[in-house]
Amino acid sequence: MPFIKALLLFSIITTSFACKQRESEKKDNGLQEVRLDEKASNADIVRLPVSADKPTDTVNVPKIQLEEAVFDFGEVTEGVVVKHNFKFKNVGNQPLVITDVQTTCGCTVPDWNRNPIQPNATDEIKVQFNSEGKEGKMDKPVTIIANTYPVKTEFKLIGSVKKK
């Protein structure tokens, strides 16, 4: 009889532990702790739609749709500052976070909204190109770094600068 009681007690404890373990598995809220050994941009942390061991998730990411990918400013005289606003729309279903806008030299300066851009919302990136000290054909790429897939989106200013 003591053996049967011990066996019964053991099975109750085992079953109780297994049920508690299943309940904790059900409470997974989808959050995952991110630990990085090196510096990462906000775009890397906000949403990682791509990983080496999982299929690419491009459905649930923000998407940039540029109104124009190239702006031709024509011909200007050296020293003129060309200003243009590149308009875009977030056509994805998640908020768009632009963490950086990069240019190839200090003559091209971008200014952008640092707040999240909601799905279906429009915004713009203001770009200024200073032609001082420049001459000839210009091709000035500007790269948006954001929580999109792919992470980089490029547009550019083109034209030519004639000497004073």
Chain length of the chain: 164
Helix, strand, coil percentages, rounded to 5, for the chain: 20, 40, 40
Rounded Cα–Cα distance for residues 53 and 43 (Å): 20
Query: Are 111 and 126 in contact, with CB atoms under 8 Å apart?
Result: yes
Rounded Cα–Cα distance for residues 84 and 80 (Å): 13
Whole-model pTM?
A: 0.67
- Is 8 inside any structural domain? no
Cβ neighbour number for residue 83 with a 10 Å cutoff: 10
- Is 22 inside any structural domain? no
Quote the pLDDT of residue 114: 94
- Is 7 inside any structural domain? no
Query: Are 66 and 155 in contact, with CB atoms under 8 Å apart?
Result: yes
- Is 106 inside any structural domain? yes
The yes-or-no verdict on residue 131 having pLDDT over 90 is yes
What's the domain range around 61? 42-51+55-162
Rounded Cα–Cα distance for residues 77 and 162 (Å): 5
pLDDT tens per residue across span 82-114:
999 999 999 999 999 999 999 999 999 999 999
The yes-or-no verdict on residue 130 having pLDDT over 60 is yes
End-to-end CA distance of the chain: 107
- Is 16 inside any structural domain? no
- Is 3 inside any structural domain? no
Query: Is the previous residue joined to 116 through a cis bond, with omega within 30 degrees of 0?
Result: no
- Is 6 inside any structural domain? no
Residue 46, classed as helix, strand or coil, is helix
- Is 98 inside any structural domain? yes
CATH number at residue 112: 2.60.40.10
Count of structural domains within the chain? 1
Is residue 29 very low, low, confident or very high in pLDDT (cuts 50, 70, 90)? Answer: very low
Cβ neighbour number for residue 53 with a 10 Å cutoff: 4
Q: What is the DSSP string of 62-87?
A: --EEES-SEEEEEEEETTPEEEEEEE
Where helices occur in the chain by DSSP H, the ranges are 2-26, 42-46
